[in-house]
Amino acid sequence: MNDALAALYPQHLATLRERTDVALARGGFDHLVVPAGRPITKFMDDLDYPFTVNPHFKHWLPLIDAPGSWLVYTPGQKPKLVFLQPHDYWHVVPEAPTGYWVDHFDIVTVRKAADAIAELPLQSRSAIIGDQYCGVNEVQPNNPSAVTDYLHYHRAYKTPYELELMREASRRGVRGHRAAEKAFRDGASELGIHQAYLAAVGQTDAELPYASIVCLNEHAAILHYTHFGRVPPAEHRSFLIDAGASASGYASDITRTYAGKDAGEFQALVDSMDAAERSFVAKVRAGQNYPELHVHAHHVIAGVLREHGFIRMSAESAVESGVSSAFFPHGLGHGIGMQVHDVAGFHASDAGGTIAKPEGHPYLRLTRNLEPGMVVTIEPGLYFIDMLLAELKNKPVAADINWDKVDAFRKYGGIRIEDDVVCTTGEPENMTRDAFAQLP
């Protein structure tokens, strides 16, 4: 793995330098300054929240646990890392940087956060990118839009180095998913399933790219269920897990749904949704309009609802009347990379602007056309959500819904199946399915 990354990293760094040169010139800046960030202290406490590195920092180098450090880039010069390695016996001190990337940086080590200031180009125009917690004293981010719009827009196009890290994140995530399915089959609680997932991935909760969603039975109808029931239910009718893993700060985002041993009808519905999801993945191709793919997914899922006897209306009527949205209330997917919901999903160009969401679909997170190098999730869902079904029951279209069938499926919660997919110049690369194939 490291040999592959070592071979790919120089080109990745060259790409970042080229992009940054253009971005700085557009904004009229001489330097890029990126703080790694610092831990945020909890309110009325002396404890910190888990540290999360600035994504602009980890884009340049695989250093995700170096709070108080800084990256400085000046066009035409070697990038500089100002590395904070404090004298501290209360906490683990970051080890000196090593690995395939260090020779590409001028590295200056400081012992105090304030000592980093002298190493930053503050006397000339610097684009300082970070959040309100990243700065120290007089050095605060300015986040110029001319710079961030350009960098964010182009961040959608992953370098081969980034894709290799995302493949590794997928492999790690799949190891967790295999362990989680086994724990479900063995009758574990939601917390027990999650603990099996963490052990297989080899990461703590704070190291995962997002909080795992582990749902048994009707809990799968709660889209972002992160409660982790401690007691196993009397029956393990269904299991939905939405959980990813990290590799040097890059994310995977994987969802699978399983039927219990006596849930034959529900298994048939899962199989239909799996076939639908695969058909959407096949459309991740250069030039594909993502909102159009999202609307297409609604028509296909409406067809699944009709095929399995939940509705009596046509798929077209189900979409036009909003019935499909009651069963599939979220977006088809989003960009993914260093962040699970990656930036610039709505950017009209690298100068900014917004591509609007299609009317009636407020939760879609990506409206750009797909192009080679982009990585997106494809995650259709079909749920039995009490609140949305109650609203649907009060509409005229309720007469075309088989409520007895719907009510019989509430106990399963719902279905979501999600893969991370690379748009290429030809066939899409399904990193998630590839990882599952590698780990039978």
DSSP, residue by residue, 44-81: TSS-BPPP---HHHHTTSS--S-TT-EEEE-TTS--EE
How many angstroms separate the CA atoms of 281 and 333, rounded? 11
190 residue type, one letter: E
How many angstroms separate the CA atoms of 120 and 96, rounded? 20
Beta-strand pair 126-128/31-35: parallel
How many angstroms separate the CA atoms of 274 and 282, rounded? 13
Q: What is the pLDDT along the chain (440 residues), one digit of tens a residue?
A: 789 999 999 999 999 999 999 999 999 999 999 999 999 999 999 999 999 999 999 999 999 999 999 999 999 999 999 999 998 888 888 899 999 999 999 999 999 988 999 999 987 899 999 988 776 777 889 999 999 999 999 999 999 999 999 999 999 999 999 999 999 999 999 999 999 999 999 999 999 999 999 999 999 999 999 999 999 999 999 999 999 999 999 999 999 999 998 888 999 999 999 999 999 999 999 999 999 999 999 999 999 999 999 999 999 999 999 999 999 999 999 999 999 999 999 999 999 999 999 999 999 999 999 999 999 999 999 999 999 999 999 999 999 999 999 999 999 999 999 999 999 999 999 999 999 999 87
Angle at 261 between CA 260 and CA 267, to 5 degrees: 65
222 and 288 belong to one structural domain: yes
250 and 390 belong to one structural domain: yes
314 and 210 belong to one structural domain: yes
Give buried/exposed letters for 96-116 (b at 16+ CB in 10 A, else e): ebeebbeebbeebebeebeeb
Given this model, what pLDDT does residue 195 score?
A: 98
Is residue 109 classed as helix, strand or coil in its secondary structure? strand
CATH number at residue 92: 3.40.350.10
190 and 285 belong to one structural domain: yes
Cα separations in angstroms, 374 against 29, 36, 66, 247, 370: 28, 25, 28, 18, 7
pTM over 0.75: yes
Is residue 141 classed as helix, strand or coil in its secondary structure? coil
Print the domain residue range for 276: 160-438
Confirm if 364 and 358 have CB atoms less than 8 A apart: yes
342 and 314 belong to one structural domain: yes
199 and 134 belong to one structural domain: no
Given this model, what pLDDT does residue 91 score?
A: 85
Burial of 180 (0-12, 13-18, 19+ CB in 10 A): buried
Among residues 87, 109, 144, the one where a domain terminates is 144
Is residue 151 in some structural domain?
Answer: no
Cα separations in angstroms, 411 against 11, 165, 238, 344: 51, 38, 8, 38
245 and 393 belong to one structural domain: yes
Confirm if 397 and 406 have CB atoms less than 8 A apart: no
420 and 389 belong to one structural domain: yes
How many angstroms separate the CA atoms of 392 and 409, rounded? 16
Report residue 354 as tokens. 């917004």
184 and 281 belong to one structural domain: yes
Is residue 407 in some structural domain?
Answer: yes
CATH number at residue 352: 3.90.230.10
Among residues 144, 169, 194, the one where a domain terminates is 144
Confirm if 80 and 119 have CB atoms less than 8 A apart: yes
Is residue 303 in some structural domain?
Answer: yes
194 and 228 belong to one structural domain: yes
Find the helix packing angle between 160-185 and 2-27, rounded to 10°.
Answer: 120
135 and 280 belong to one structural domain: no
Is residue 112 in some structural domain?
Answer: yes
β strands within 253-379, DSSP E: 254-259, 347-349, 352-354, 375-378
How many angstroms separate the CA atoms of 341 and 351, rounded? 20
Nearest to 413 by CA among 270, 309, 294: 270
Confirm if 404 and 309 have CB atoms less than 8 A apart: no
Is residue 14 in some structural domain?
Answer: yes
Residues in a beta bridge with 416:
381
Q: Report the number of distinct structural domains present in the chain.
A: 2
Angle at 262 between CA 257 and CA 267, to 5 degrees: 35
Report residue 14 as tokens. 């060259």
Is residue 150 in some structural domain?
Answer: no
Given this model, what pLDDT does residue 161 score?
A: 98
Is residue 341 in some structural domain?
Answer: yes
Among residues 109, 144, 179, the one where a domain terminates is 144
96 and 198 belong to one structural domain: no
Is residue 155 in some structural domain?
Answer: no
User: CB within 8 A of 60, min separation 6: which ones?
Assistant: 13, 16, 34, 71, 73, 79
How many angstroms separate the CA atoms of 158 and 12, rounded? 9
For every residue of 344-395, DSSP letters joined together read -TTEEETTEEEPPPPTT-TT----SBP-TT-EEEE--EEE--HHHHHHHHTS
